[in-house]
């Protein structure tokens, strides 16, 4: 495949899992930065990259001048995440005939200088251009000022220290305008904090009261176990924003001026390190989950953030192993780049994932993963031997489950297939926000099966779709309440088409109960319906279709027949893939559908899905829906006990429909799981 990064420096003694060393990372940074500079034909041209997607991303209109200015700045500042450490390591680096250091030195100053053709504008300028009457409006430039100061810190000797006093003052005045200006009351506060912290370090006067207000608010977003609530949601912003920027702020300002707050930020980062390595899979792959997935392996930057603290607890050998594995997850693919720059996608271009606050240059946020290059060559991050943490300790069919109630995250490491599955909660999305539901409301997120968008109105991968037959409308679960884990079973509730103005009893819902098996997850969910008839579908993961074989099988259990559909094929890279969905009580049949343009791995895909209906209004019908999805990276057949693991299903009610009371599920290997929804009502959390 073309455009695949192939490192020249490999050391399998130091890095037995990936072979990657500090020299390999430098090569990777050069690989990405070369793609940038192949699109810069003249020293005076800004970092504006080819744009493949034009309908969703900004600039949205030709007259949106402030958006074009923001794009200039975003291209400059985010590409600097990659360039700045290289500039420090190789000050005389030349690409496409341009001295990289001199290019960025010139464009940083020009960006901040009123009257220059690439000046990106003060806050007042942007406000005037936008004609927005909102006095609290914030602009994209605030985000990029933070990237700029981080990169000025990393290349301080090569760029910042070489400016004259007058030039520094111009840049400082520009930064101060945004540092003291309006911001978004979530992770954006950290941008203002780092701007002020950098200026303080360089001898400029800042408003310490504004700094303190932002810092206390950031701390107040903390939910536990290292995770912060960002807006309403929990996602990787906890890892590539809160747990990178806060440690930097500690180093630049907090330890000296706000020791209590700094101590808490350090404590929170170390709490994240206790479990964060298990968020990745055996290959170090990052899960496609939450918004801004175009930032890809930036999620690994939290390890580097922790190593900036006075008393870090990240394991250097494990941190590098994961960081390198995630790096190659993306750079090892031939579809990552479009005209030399990362696509607006998770792998290749994937428009269903793209969000309106992004532009062609936004994916360079993945450059935050390269912040580790600021660590010197003799740092333990580079010298410790790679190891694989949990994965080295798990037995052949063992599953490790980590449940964090604060951020409502449950992730399981499956040794049998090397995959990590995430089940999340505390999700609130507007009922028409399909993109938001794909990012947050999937029942499971799998590191080897990135989420699939909707192949049709009747079906979603890893989501229920409820068809109200009377009104002929289709609803998806836009709200997920969290209960937590009890006796090895995770409990949640999803509402279909939830809205605040409607009492919850007038909203269709399903109580979720799921637990792990060696190759995946078993579901035993209970319908919570107030009107019928309805039809219901549930999809498995989207399966990349590069020539897929489809098989069906039947298996017996006490009292019934289980049905399975098995898919065998390969992903975009040629890696073997296998998926099986099995249905038991509550479902009528299994079907498959082929789709195009809905899978982030491959252009074509196949989705296996279960289907059922409930026809009789106010009648006591089957309430429990039992199914299983299992996967592996091999075409070798699943064993019968994996494909059909359940031996017996015992209900409390004499009708065996599961409308009330515990349901006991006995597996062929003797495992017994009791599904008991009693008591969850009083502890459901958002």
Strand partners, 610: 538, 590
- Looking at the structure, tell me whether residues 559 and 602 fall in a common domain: yes
- Looking at the structure, tell me whether residues 387 and 417 fall in a common domain: no
Closest CA to 139 of 199, 111, 181: 181
Q: Please give the structure tokens belonging to residue 667.
A: 């597996």
What mean pLDDT is reported for the chain? 97
The reported pLDDT for the residue numbered 127 is 86
Alpha helices (H) along 19-64: 22-37
Position 146 pLDDT exceeds 50: yes
Residues 394-419: what's their mean pLDDT? 98
pTM of the predicted protein model:
0.97
pLDDT in tens, 61-86: 888 888 899 999 999 999 999 999 99
Q: Is 356 left (phi over 0), alpha (psi -120 to 50) or beta?
A: alpha
What is the rounded CA–CA span in Å between residue 247 and residue 243? 7
Contact 653, 468 (CB under 8 A): no
Q: What angle do CA 412, 224, 346 make, to 5 degrees?
A: 50
- Looking at the structure, tell me whether residues 309 and 433 fall in a common domain: no
Looking only at the bridges linking them, the beta strands covering 534-539 and 604-614 are antiparallel
Q: Please give the structure tokens belonging to residue 173.
A: 């005045």
- Looking at the structure, tell me whether residues 375 and 433 fall in a common domain: no
What are residue 143's phi and psi, to 5 degrees? -60, -45
Closest CA to 518 of 627, 669, 368, 649: 669
In this structure, is the dihedral angle defined by the CA atoms of residues 651, 657, 660 and 662, taken in order, positive or negative?
positive
DSSP single-letter state for residue 463: B
Residue 201 CB partners (closer than 8 Å, separation 6+): 252, 253
Which of the listed residues 333, 359, 391 is the one where a domain comes to its end?
391
- Looking at the structure, tell me whether residues 376 and 522 fall in a common domain: no
Q: Please give the structure tokens belonging to residue 136.
A: 């609290």
Which of the listed residues 391, 415, 436 is the one where a domain comes to its end?
391
> Percentage of residues in the chain with pLDDT exceeding 90?
95
Task: State the residue range of the domain holding 53.
Answer: 22-391
- Looking at the structure, tell me whether residues 414 and 383 fall in a common domain: no
What is the rounded CA–CA span in Å between residue 545 and residue 571? 7
Q: Please give the structure tokens belonging to residue 353.
A: 């994932």
Residues 261-272: what's their mean pLDDT? 98
Distances (CA, A) of 593 to 187, 250, 590: 40, 52, 10
Residue 433 CB partners (closer than 8 Å, separation 6+): 478
What are residue 550's phi and psi, to 5 degrees? -120, 130
Q: Please give the structure tokens belonging to residue 469.
A: 């037959």
Confidence grade of residue 559 (pLDDT, cut at 50, 70, 90): confident
- Looking at the structure, tell me whether residues 571 and 679 fall in a common domain: yes
What is the rounded CA–CA span in Å between residue 648 and residue 641? 13
Residue 684, helix vs strand vs coil: coil
| Count of domains for the chain | 2
Q: Please give the structure tokens belonging to residue 205.
A: 């006067």
Residues 49-65: what's their mean pLDDT? 89
Which of the listed residues 336, 366, 391 is the one where a domain comes to its end?
391
Contact 224, 174 (CB under 8 A): no
Residue 8, helix vs strand vs coil: coil
Looking only at the bridges linking them, the beta strands covering 341-342 and 399-404 are unpaired
C-beta atoms surrounding 355 within 10 Å: 17
- Looking at the structure, tell me whether residues 174 and 216 fall in a common domain: yes
What is the rounded CA–CA span in Å between residue 520 and residue 422? 11
- Is residue 121 in some structural domain? yes
Contact 317, 387 (CB under 8 A): yes
- Is residue 501 in some structural domain? yes
Q: Which single residue is written with the structure tokens 């810092």?
A: 215
- Looking at the structure, tell me whether residues 146 and 108 fall in a common domain: yes
- Is residue 40 in some structural domain? yes
- Is residue 398 in some structural domain? no
Helical axes 22-37 vs 65-89, angle rounded to 10°: 140
What is the rounded CA–CA span in Å between residue 296 and residue 325? 12
Contact 37, 337 (CB under 8 A): no
The reported pLDDT for the residue numbered 2 is 63
What are residue 594's phi and psi, to 5 degrees? -100, 145
- Looking at the structure, tell me whether residues 387 and 418 fall in a common domain: no
Confidence grade of residue 1 (pLDDT, cut at 50, 70, 90): very low
Residues 24-52: what's their mean pLDDT? 96
- Is residue 112 in some structural domain? yes
C-beta atoms surrounding 44 within 10 Å: 12
- Is residue 289 in some structural domain? yes
- Looking at the structure, tell me whether residues 350 and 412 fall in a common domain: no
Residues 41-47: what's their mean pLDDT? 96
Alpha helices (H) along 237-279: 237, 243-249, 255-257, 259-273
Contact 194, 244 (CB under 8 A): no
Residue 6 CB partners (closer than 8 Å, separation 6+): none
- Is residue 10 in some structural domain? no
H or E segment and range at residue 604: strand 604-614
Distances (CA, A) of 212 to 185, 192, 197, 470, 676: 14, 11, 11, 55, 47
DSSP single-letter state for residue 142: H
- Looking at the structure, tell me whether residues 415 and 283 fall in a common domain: no
Q: What angle do CA 534, 535, 539 make, to 5 degrees?
A: 145
CA 587 distance to own-chain centroid:
32
Contact 642, 619 (CB under 8 A): no
pLDDT in tens, 98-141: 999 999 999 999 999 999 999 999 988 888 888 889 989 999 99
Residues 196-217: what's their mean pLDDT? 98
Half-sphere exposure in the Cβ direction for 313 (13 Å, CA): 14
Residues in the chain: 686
Look up the CATH number of the domain holding residue 176.
1.50.10
DSSP single-letter state for residue 451: P
Q: Please give the structure tokens belonging to residue 190.
A: 């950290």
Residues 32-54: what's their mean pLDDT? 95
Look up the CATH number of the domain holding residue 580.
2.70.98
Q: What is the DSSP string of 630-667?
A: EEESS-SPPPHHHHS-EEEEEESSTT-S-SSS-EEEEE
What is the rounded (10 degree) CA torsion for 629, 547, 440, 503? -70
Q: Please give the structure tokens belonging to residue 237.
A: 């912003």
- Is residue 165 in some structural domain? yes
pLDDT in tens, 564-606: 999 999 999 999 999 999 999 999 999 999 999 999 999 999 9
Contact 194, 242 (CB under 8 A): no
pLDDT in tens, 511-550: 999 999 999 999 999 999 999 999 999 999 999 999 999 9
Residues 363-384: what's their mean pLDDT? 98
DSSP single-letter state for residue 352: G
pLDDT in tens, 292-339: 999 999 999 999 999 999 999 999 999 999 999 999 999 999 999 999
> Percentage of residues in the chain with pLDDT exceeding 70?
100
């Amino acid at each position: 495949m073309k455009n695949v990064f192939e490192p020249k420096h490999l050391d399998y003694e130091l890095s037995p899992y990936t072979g990657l060393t500090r020299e390999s990372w430098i090569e990777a940074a050069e690989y990405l930065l070369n793609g940038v500079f192949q699109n810069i034909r003249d020293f005076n041209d800004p970092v504006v990259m080819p744009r493949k997607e034009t309908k969703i991303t900004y600039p949205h209109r030709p007259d949106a001048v402030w958006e074009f200015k923001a794009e200039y700045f975003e291209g400059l500042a985010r590409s600097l995440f990659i360039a700045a450490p290289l500039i420090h390591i190789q000050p005389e680096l030349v690409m496409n005939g341009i001295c990289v250091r001199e290019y960025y030195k010139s464009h940083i100053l020009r960006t901040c200088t009123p009257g220059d053709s690439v000046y990106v504008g003060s806050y007042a300028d942007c406000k005037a251009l936008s004609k927005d009457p909102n006095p609290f409006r914030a602009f994209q430039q605030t985000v990029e000022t933070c990237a700029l100061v981080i990169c000025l810190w990393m290349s301080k000797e090569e760029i910042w220290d070489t400016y004259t006093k007058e030039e520094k003052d111009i840049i400082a005045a520009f930064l101060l305008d945004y540092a003291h200006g309006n911001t978004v009351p979530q992770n954006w506060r950290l941008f203002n904090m780092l701007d002020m912290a950098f200026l303080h370090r360089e001898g400029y006067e800042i408003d310490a009261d504004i700094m303190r207000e932002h810092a206390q608010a950031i701390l107040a977003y903390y939910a536990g176990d290292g995770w912060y609530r960002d807006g309403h949601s929990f996602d990787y912003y906890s890892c590539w924003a809160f747990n990178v920027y806060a440690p930097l702020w500690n180093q630049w300002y907090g330890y000296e001026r706000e020791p209590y707050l700094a101590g808490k930020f350090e404590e929170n980062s170390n709490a994240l390190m206790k479990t964060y390595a298990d968020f990745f899979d055996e290959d170090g792959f990052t899960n496609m989950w939450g918004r801004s997935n175009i930032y890809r392996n930036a999620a690994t930057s939290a390890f580097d953030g922790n190593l900036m603290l006075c008393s870090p607890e990240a394991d250097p050998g494990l941190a590098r192993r994961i960081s390198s594995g995630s790096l190659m997850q993306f750079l090892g693919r031939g579809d990552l780049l479009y005209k030399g720059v990362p696509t607006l996608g998770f792998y290749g271009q994937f428009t269903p994932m793209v969000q309106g606050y992004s532009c062609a240059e936004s994916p360079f946020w993945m450059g935050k993963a390269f912040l580790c290059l600021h660590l010197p060559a003799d740092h333990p991050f580079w010298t410790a031997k790679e190891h694989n943490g949990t994965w080295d300790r798990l037995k052949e069919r063992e599953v490790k489950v980590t449940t964090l109630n604060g951020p409502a995250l449950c992730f399981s490491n499956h040794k049998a297939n090397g995959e990590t599955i995430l089940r999340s909660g505390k999700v609130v999305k507007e009922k028409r926000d399909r993109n938001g539901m794909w990012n947050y409301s999937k029942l499971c997120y799998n590191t080897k099966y990135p989420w699939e968008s909707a192949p049709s109105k009747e079906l979603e991968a890893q989501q229920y779709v409820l068809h109200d037959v009377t009104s002929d409308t289709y609803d998806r679960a836009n709200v997920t309440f969290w209960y937590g884990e009890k006796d090895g079973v995770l409990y949640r509730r999803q509402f279909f088409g939830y809205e605040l103005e409607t009492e919850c009893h007038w909203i269709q819902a399903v109580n979720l109960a799921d637990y792990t098996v060696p190759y995946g997850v078993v579901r035993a969910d209970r319908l919570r319906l107030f009107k019928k008839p309805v039809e219901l579908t549930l999809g498995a993961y989207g399966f990349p279709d590069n020539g897929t074989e489809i098989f069906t099988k039947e298996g017996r259990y006490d009292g019934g027949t289980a049905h399975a559909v098995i898919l065998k094929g390969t992903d975009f890279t040629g890696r073997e893939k296998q998926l099986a969905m099995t249905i038991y009580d509550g479902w009528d049949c299994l079907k498959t559908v082929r789709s195009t343009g809905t899978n982030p791995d491959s252009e074509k895909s196949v989705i296996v899905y279960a289907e059922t209906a409930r026809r009789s209004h106010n009648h006591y019908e089957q309430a429990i829906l039992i199914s299983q999805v299992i996967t592996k990276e091999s075409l070798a057949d699943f064993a019968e006990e994996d494909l059909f693991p359940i031996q017996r299903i015992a209900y409390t009610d004499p009708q065996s429909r599961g409308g009330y009371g515990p349901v006991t599920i006995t597996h062929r290997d003797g495992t017994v799981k009791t599904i008991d929804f009693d008591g969850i009502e009083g502890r459901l959390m958002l």
